[in-house]
Amino acid sequence: MSSALTKPPSLKPEIRLAQALSKFEADLSNDEKSAFRTLKSQSLSTAPGPDDVMQLTAEMDRRISAKFSSRCFGPRFTNFLQGVQQFAALGDVVIGGSQNLIACGVWSVVRMSLLSFVNLQNYIDKLSSLFMEIGRAAPRYQAIALLYPRSKKLQSYLSEYFISVVGLCHYLFKFGHKSTVMQFTSSLSDSHLKNFQTELDRWANSIKEEMYLAEFQESSGSRALIIDFFKSSSRRQDHATRMQVLDFCSKYDHETAWKQTRKAGNSSFYARSMDYQEWRDSSHSRTLMYTGKLGSGKSVMLANIVDDLHLFTKKEQYPVAYFFCKHDVMESLQARTIIGSLVRQLLRTIPDLGALSMYCEDTNANCTTETLLELLFKGFPSHRKVYLVLDGLDECNLEEKKVLIQAVRKIQDRLQVLLSFIEADLERCLAQRLLTIGDPTLILEIQDALLKGSQGMFLWVALQIQTLCSMKTDRAIREALEDLPKDLSETFARILQKSGSSDPSLQVKTLHLVLAACRPLTTDELREALSVTPGDATWDPANIINDVYSALSCCGCLVIVDEEEFTVRVVHHSFKQYILNGPGNMNHTEFSLREAQRTMADTIVTYLNYGVFGTEISRVKVTPIMVQSAPSKIIQVAMQSSSSTSSLAMKFLKSRKQPAFDMSKVLAATQNIFRSENGYSFRFHNYAEKYWQDHI
């Protein structure tokens, strides 16, 4: 008999997902099984929401900081958790029945597994980085609930994705239950983790492609079919209405700014303040305002307070809405953006928004702050207690501030609001800072000197520590402690002078492009922009900077790259003010916003005049090239940032042992790889095309 006839048919993905959940539960102890079933029951009664993601990451950080680390890891898990949360909510809205039980089971597995990570002291950094990488591609699509019922492929791909999620969590959960000795002798398998990540990325890409296809079909005329489908289910219709109302309020991503700030560190100063505790516990509408020096860690404290409020309100389910203004994101400084985001965050806690849909039908209408407030007051119960946390309002211009303050006052008059304009002094814990020192008592000298010189400025302390970490001897550290800069301006000046001494012109050009950008540039965009020679419209990929991080080092620690978004920004808005307004801060050139805009304009004009966009078809004739005739020195430097280039170079070197080997085919086959990694993807083109009018 043919083996094909005897081979059992493969089970459907949703069945294998249920099996994966059963295997996870089977390996739990009796107490763990009880806790797991309680989690599933809670998720079934109330589907996990965005606040549950915030509460989980806050709880993880609180446990980690209490046990062994002052670092903040929770935000690294946010994107991944949002994908899991949306899948669990999808089960409640669209799937129903036994499939809803499975979706909630996935959330419960992930929650239980992540909380067990706090015991893996030696692996938390590695694992949080892994989940951050996975989170970049995690399926997080608002429209997924609309498209899921009509796409069998999408249903299958999502099940496959979460089979891998459960498998990864199961593997890590079992490892966490090993004894310390067993963990030391066995260790986590990098190959296992890599396999899980590869599988998750593969299914995430399949989901992404299917979402694009489904959205295209929807825009091509299938939207009416989807709406008709949703009308057959009141729950599905309610979900579509919720999306319409919430998107009408705001589509702005308010979470990224909070994550970036929260990662800067933990703070507990506010928790010891009676003023804060009274404000948090109050049942009346009150405003709490703290003031502190520039760079004293006010935003870091605020980001910690957002975590604290989410944990504090977990039982009472009081909504927490927050917004962090970013000096380099102009949209975040508009009152319409801020109020719209806050209103969306508050309204998403209301199960039924059907009564508001009539106000949101005209998506082309000019939605003012007054319209947003009207939506809030009609849809949100006036007796319900909420917390609003705002940061960076001083970055808004006067007119935007007036509109914003008036709107906030109206909210306070109508709702039971606890509003936080937090600007507080922060005392940074230095005891766990890692420094290479020979004399153990030197750490005390460092701590005393920094505490004495900080004057409450968190940013000043952070910059001094980074400078000290680069020093190689105890003598060098002690000499630096005796001559610490007096304030932030002097700190900025020293760092600029030291880091830019090797290439002052590159430092100035980098700062020009970073500060003039209408939105933060990505590392790939900045890499191309820095490679442009204004006035030279001849495109040559050989001129592209190989390693943008080496180029950024000319600015020291004053220009940073976000580890998730890969966007480049200055370390603090005070540095931008110093650069543009500080007297004598750039000895080798006159620095002004006008000069920065001119550099960006010249760069964009030259870039757009390359004349190669859309004409990347190869016209090169491939002729035989014998290895024996190749130059004796193929490469001088193989950059670590370009793994494909390095690999290709190694092939060339090895092929020299075969003089008759024709390497023309290798060159032709790898030409696309070389183009992609050396600038032919034209990453800066979208920015240049969209914002050229703002710079010229």
Rounded to whole angstroms, what are the CA distances from 248 to 229, 344, 603? Answer: 23, 9, 37
Tokens (6 digits) for 52:
């549950």
pLDDT for 296 equals 61
Same domain, 457 and 311: no
Q: How many domains does the chain have?
A: 4
In a domain, 29, yes or no: yes
Same domain, 192 and 277: no
pLDDT for 599 equals 93
pLDDT for 131 equals 93
Domain end position, chosen among 407, 423, 439: 423
Three-class DSSP category at 569 = strand
pLDDT for 147 equals 74
Which H/E stretch holds residue 234?
A: helix 234-249
CATH code (residue 521): 1.10.10
Mean pLDDT, each 10-residue run in order, the chain (696 residues)? 50 91 93 91 84 90 77 88 87 57 90 85 86 89 71 88 94 80 66 91 89 67 50 64 88 91 79 79 67 67 88 84 90 94 92 83 75 90 84 86 85 65 30 62 79 74 81 87 88 88 89 92 94 88 88 89 89 85 54 87 92 54 45 36 50 51 49 45 89 88
Three-class DSSP category at 385 = strand
Same domain, 440 and 416: no
pLDDT for 674 equals 42
In a domain, 73, yes or no: yes
Domain end position, chosen among 423, 440, 456: 423
DSSP state of 544: S
Which H/E stretch holds residue 552?
A: helix 548-552
Dihedral of alpha carbons 435, 439, 442, 443, sign: positive
Q: What does the radius of gyration of the chain's CA atoms come to, in whole angstroms?
A: 28
pLDDT for 647 equals 53
How far is Cα 500 from Cα 503, in angstroms, rounded to an integer? 5
Same domain, 42 and 184: yes
Same domain, 507 and 564: yes
Domain end position, chosen among 459, 484, 509: 484
Same domain, 325 and 366: yes
pLDDT for 317 equals 79
| 456 Rama class: left (phi>0) / alpha (psi -120 to 50) / beta | left
Dihedral of alpha carbons 683, 684, 687, 688, sign: negative
The whole model's pTM is what? 0.66
In a domain, 8, yes or no: no
In a domain, 650, yes or no: no
**Residues 93 and 146 sit within 8 Å (Cβ to Cβ):** no
Angle between helices 298-312 and 255-262 (to 10 degrees): 110
Same domain, 241 and 351: no
Same domain, 417 and 463: no
Same domain, 41 and 175: yes
Three-class DSSP category at 684 = coil
Residues making up the chain, counted from first to last: 696
Same domain, 434 and 408: no
pLDDT for 579 equals 85
pLDDT for 601 equals 93
How far is Cα 418 from Cα 554, in angstroms, rounded to an integer? 44
Tokens (6 digits) for 223:
């939207």
Beta bridge partners of 559: 570
Same domain, 243 and 271: no
Dihedral of alpha carbons 418, 424, 429, 435, sign: positive
**Residues 241 and 354 sit within 8 Å (Cβ to Cβ):** yes
Range of the domain at 437: 429-484
Task: Let me know the angle formed at the C-alpha of 24 by 19 and 26, rounded to the nearest 5 degrees.
Answer: 90
Same domain, 239 and 361: no
pLDDT for 660 equals 52
pLDDT for 234 equals 62
pLDDT for 635 equals 35
